[in-house]
Structure 1
Amino acid sequence: MSKHQTDEHRQKGFLAAVERAGNKLPDPFMLFVYLAVFVIVTSCIVSLFNVSVVHPKTEEVLAIKSLLSGEGIQYILTSMLTNFTGFAPLGLVLAMMIGIGLAERVGLLEATIKRTIMKAPKRLVSFTIVFVGIMGNIASDAAFVIIPPLAAMVYYTIGRHPLAGLAAGFSGVGAGFTANLIINGTDGLLSGISTEAIKTFDPTMVVTPVDNYYFMAVSVFILAIAGAILTDKFVEPRLGKFTRKLDKKMAAPSEHEGRGLRNAGIAGFLYIALLAVGLFWPSSVLRNEDGGLIPSTFLDGIIPIILFFFIVVGITYGRTTGKIETSRDIPKFMSEAMKDMSGYIVLIFAAAQFISYFNWSNLGVWVAVSGANFLQNIGLTGISVILGYIIFTALLNLIIFSGSAKWALEAPIFIPLFAFLGYHPAFVQVAYRIADSSTNIITPMNPYLVIILSFMREYEPKAGLGTLMALMLPYSLTFLVIWIVQLIVFIMFGIPFGPGIGVYLP
């Protein structure tokens, strides 16, 4: 057996072990149901020992409350609906998907992606593909099935190895999933969960969808450059020259799509111009009383502002291309987009109960304070503890793929814990995001791996999961290392992660 075959065999063995371990985990919904039951039972047992904890911020003595007591059972029954309807991420994400879903259903996002990649100069094609892949998370999971095969086709058309294009596209979509230049559903989802989790430390604190914006916006360009260099200088040379002749042709956007993109662009520009006028108008209601932006109505209302933007450009594109013929088509497309959110809504119902029970019982404070005290006692409170958390989350992603489920699981524990050490929840959220995204393209739990593999086999029929993993591993490790370095740079130079957001609590 050759060294290459031995390495691939070992890799498949490791990946198979990871896949088996992940498959033994319950569905994310049931995972939170089991966790909620665990919290209920644990709160009952711990309360029997009269355990209490002193809240470091308020100095209030908090006893562990049993969820199986009379008071606890009343809380479970009377709070179940409000736990769900009042869960911060629910409204944020559903509102965003009304607008983004409309734009996706009428074909605007796919046409934009196709036009951008196909119009890219040859010397910038790798950068453009990774860049578009990263930005493609606006379309959520749809980007996984649009960008990689399109990128492979572009590379084949210009005489380059198609698997290098597929890898570049998949790296941007998967490993760069959390970064973007536009606030989107991911920002709303994660910040909403963070807001719920920080209530254990400070009930008045809010993590907004823009709190990670500066870091993530910079990440788009850094990762796009790194991904392009990695593709051109390392990945493609290792693949060699692609010599197979295939009957594949790439269809350019139609004339209707071209007009639709032009008109949508004009509508988007006018919307942004009108918003800018309203924002910088003297005594603008979008600013605060002192004329500043931190805090302001503009930042607090960023989700509705972006929602209306996508509605405007989506309707414009749909009307131009004929996808929207009457006003009745608009809610129809919105409704179709919301159908895709049914699984998310069900998951949120269970996650909301778990987090609520964890906080009400005071187990959250107890775990966070105990963990913070332990880390302080062993002297592990600096950047090393954050790096350790990043590695932990990156590895956890190998068996739990869902970013929302994983953050709903981690946030109630780690956000209060790090808050008691003085770290801002939005900073902890950044650490989570870079860890979670980096290993998206190598986790066997990624349901889109099978789809990507099928695209790959159109060019290399003998390719297997090990082949795909070997192709994507350099991107995963490179993105993770670059993101960690970027995080350290932001920390060292005091660069804000979002408007008014630093490493530590104010």
Structure 2
Amino acid sequence: MSKFLSGIETIGNKLPDPFFIFVYLAAFVMILTFIVNQFDVTVEHPGTGEELAIKSLISGEGLQFILTEMLSNFTGFAPLGLVLAMMLGVGLADKVGLLETAIKKSILSTPKSLVTYAVFFIGIMGNIASDAAFVLVPPLAAMVFYTVGRHPLAGLAAGFAGVGAGFSANVLIAGTDALLAGITTEAAKAIDPSFVVSPVDNWYFMSISTVLLTLVGGFLTEKVIEPRLGKYDGDLKKNFEPVSAIESKGLRNAVIAGLAYIAILLTIIFWPDSPLRNEEGGMIPSPFLSGIIPIVLLFFITMGTAYGVTVKKITKSADIPKYMADSMKDMAGYIVLIFAASQFIAYFNWSNLGTWIAVNGAEFLSSINLTGIPVIIGFIIFVSILNLLIFSGSAQWALLAPIFIPLFMLLDYNPAFIQAAYRIADSTTNIITPLNPYILVVLAFMREYDKKAGLGTLISLMIPYSMVFLVIWVVMLFIFGLFGIPIGPGIEMYL
């Protein structure tokens, strides 16, 4: 296993930055469309029946498209606005310290018998704060375990596994939901230009996953990981400052503000002839679900502002946009990556190459009877392996979605269901890929308690979580699919 992981690390380190991966892919698509175009290849669009030719990007028409549509490809890319809007609210809550205080308070105030499960639950929920959870939850969990007389590395392992392997799960709509839904929507347009995948389309599945993974992760920690580590006899190397009185008051006021916001929202929803319900008075579909990102954005702004004012981090109105601007600085790398990814996907779709691959791929899979459960399992395994080489979930999905979403749509699978399958594979191997930049951060935390700890120590602790989570999650997905249980509002396995 050590040699295998070292090999993965070596190969992965030789890959270019994700930005350049998309630049090279865009160039490859240009060359490929030029070659295929020479053979007058056509494909019948499965939705309209129109005969589509593979258009060359290396042509007068292609050059016009590349230059005139470059900005619209970028600014019109669905995930860009969704994620940036979401991060305005979440970023404000993070920068004023609300998220850190909420995590500390939740874990530190938990009864000893439930500490393990609290760590897992908070770790999974921590993806609201995106990657910040990787550097906050594991060391705090280690400290909590030490304080209650348990092995700190078991706490650190539980925290890291919750944040990493459970990264896609949550009971709230998070930035991950918005980001992946936007990419999936863009990919689905190759088959149906009007198709939309909403950020809530995986909500039921991911909410239940949060509970299930918390229970499974807690059980693994107490029955497998902690017994293997034995009794800890080292010395404490680091202390965390407890939550102060003013921070507790800020958290209380934030919760009150959040509950008031929810009460107002529910009042509007259930008001007669509510503008947030559809014409029949239902919720699927409805303006409420379509506007879930602005609703969540305002929720976090409300709570973040209440906390910031209480702890005196917000003393004037100008402080609010300042903290929002600070959070946008953290998104600079994402914005740059999206510019390259949006061009690649636009080239892929404009050339009709994606439709051609999807139609022929679907016909091939049907001809060898590789449909149903086997093809989904094959897809999950493929993504799990690829995730060892490409850590960024958004970059990987932007790469895979234009190929697999149209293909699976032609096999009658709902794109949102395939997106859920992707999220399973991407999350469960986050904690065992050497290319996860936070592995080294967590390893540094480990060495505060065990100076002999190495990468192999950490990976060996993570493998049980990764493998068990993968199996449990796949079984759960197919229970939803086979019994027609919605994975989100009105969303089932098939179209």
Q: Structures share a fold, TM > 0.5?
A: yes
2:269 maps to 279
| Aligned partner of 2:78 among 60, 73, 88 | 88
2:398 maps to 408
Q: Shift of residue 13 of structure 1?
A: 1.6
2:60 maps to 70
2:211 maps to 221
Q: Shift of residue 69 of structure 1?
A: 1.3
CA distance in 2, matches of 1:339, 1:249: 30
Q: Answer yes or no: is 1:313 the counterpart of 2:314.
A: no
1:7 maps to none
Contact 2:431–2:466 (8 Å) recurs in 1: yes
CA distance in 1, matches of 2:406, 2:33: 18
2:254 maps to 264
2:381 maps to 391
Deviations 1:323-345 (A, max 9, x none): 11111111111000000000000
Contact 1:154–1:250 (8 Å) recurs in 2: no
CA distance in 1, matches of 2:114, 2:245: 25
Q: Answer yes or no: is 1:12 the counterpart of 2:20.
A: no
Amino acid at match of 1:37: A
Deviations 1:449-490 (A, max 9, x none): 000000000111001001110011000011111100100110
CA distance in 1, matches of 2:265, 2:426: 34
Q: Answer yes or no: is 1:29 the counterpart of 2:19.
A: yes
Contact 2:238–2:448 (8 Å) recurs in 1: no
Contact 2:235–2:449 (8 Å) recurs in 1: no
| Aligned partner of 1:203 among 184, 193, 198 | 193
Q: Answer yes or no: is 1:140 the counterpart of 2:130.
A: yes
Q: Answer yes or no: is 1:166 the counterpart of 2:156.
A: yes
Contact 2:405–2:418 (8 Å) recurs in 1: yes
1:345 maps to 335
Q: Answer yes or no: is 1:156 the counterpart of 2:149.
A: no
The secondary structure found in structure 2 opposite 1:62 is strand
Q: Shift of residue 355 of structure 1?
A: 0.3
CA distance in 2, matches of 1:212, 1:244: 43
Contact 1:113–1:132 (8 Å) recurs in 2: yes
Q: Shift of residue 238 of structure 1?
A: 0.5
Q: Answer yes or no: is 1:109 the counterpart of 2:99.
A: yes
Q: Shift of residue 252 of structure 1?
A: 1.6
1:449 maps to 439
How is 1:354-433 mapped onto 2 (pairs within 5 angstroms)?
354-433=344-423
CA distance in 1, matches of 2:437, 2:53: 43
Q: Shift of residue 24 of structure 1?
A: 1.1
CA distance in 2, matches of 1:327, 1:92: 25
Amino acid at match of 1:275: L
Normalising by structure 2, we get a TM-score of 0.99
| Aligned partner of 1:473 among 437, 451, 463 | 463
CA distance in 1, matches of 2:226, 2:384: 26
Q: Shift of residue 249 of structure 1?
A: 3.5
Q: Answer yes or no: is 1:304 the counterpart of 2:299.
A: no
| Aligned partner of 1:491 among 478, 481, 484 | 481
Q: Shift of residue 56 of structure 1?
A: 2.1
How is 1:284-299 mapped onto 2 (pairs within 5 angstroms)?
284-299=274-289
Deviations 1:85-108 (A, max 9, x none): 000000000000000000000000
2:172 maps to 182
Amino acid at match of 1:469: I
Q: Shift of residue 248 of structure 1?
A: 4.0
1:6 maps to none
CA distance in 1, matches of 2:462, 2:185: 34
Please, which runs of 5 or more residues in structure 2 have no aligned partner?
none
Contact 1:181–1:220 (8 Å) recurs in 2: yes
Contact 2:86–2:175 (8 Å) recurs in 1: yes
Contact 2:202–2:487 (8 Å) recurs in 1: yes
| Aligned partner of 2:313 among 320, 323, 331 | 323
| Aligned partner of 1:38 among 28, 40, 50 | 28
CA distance in 2, matches of 1:422, 1:62: 21
Please, which runs of 5 or more residues in structure 1 have no aligned partner?
1-10
How well do the aligned residues superpose, as a CA RMSD in angstroms?
Answer: 0.7
1:460 maps to 450
The secondary structure found in structure 2 opposite 1:288 is coil
| Aligned partner of 1:193 among 171, 183, 189 | 183
CA distance in 2, matches of 1:476, 1:328: 44
CA distance in 2, matches of 1:109, 1:24: 36
The secondary structure found in structure 1 opposite 2:43 is strand
Amino acid at match of 1:279: I
The secondary structure found in structure 1 opposite 2:69 is helix
Contact 2:237–2:448 (8 Å) recurs in 1: no
The secondary structure found in structure 2 opposite 1:448 is helix
The secondary structure found in structure 1 opposite 2:280 is coil
CA distance in 1, matches of 2:481, 2:418: 12
The secondary structure found in structure 2 opposite 1:53 is strand
Q: What's the % identity of the aligned pairs?
A: 65
Deviations 1:15-49 (A, max 9, x none): 11100100111100000000000001100100000
2:427 maps to 437
Normalising by structure 1, we get a TM-score of 0.97
CA distance in 1, matches of 2:38, 2:473: 45
